[in-house]
Amino acid sequence: MRKLAAILSLVVLTALSGAAFGAELVMNGSTTVLPIAQAAAEKYMEADSAIKI
């Protein structure tokens, strides 16, 4: 029974993880790390041109 519950949980989590793709994520927070976060976002967008941060 525990094995079945674990498998079902894994299936549900896997199915829900795809829901985040294509969605817009907006984050608010402290401005003290803004320069670091912007630099990291720019590097990430250079590596994957399909992503816009």
Domains: count for the chain: 1
Is residue 34 in a domain? yes
In one-letter notation, the amino acid at residue 19 is A
Length of the chain: 53
CA distance 42 to 52: 9
Residue 7 CA: distances (Å) to CA of 11, 36, 41: 6, 40, 35
pLDDT per residue as tens digits for the range 18-42: 655 666 777 777 778 788 888 999 9
- What tokens does 33 get? 């790390």
Rg of the Cα atoms in the chain: 17
Is residue 47 in a domain? yes
Is residue 43 in a domain? yes
pLDDT(4) > 80:
yes
Domain range for 40 is 22-53
The pTM for the full model equals 0.43
Is residue 37 in a domain? yes
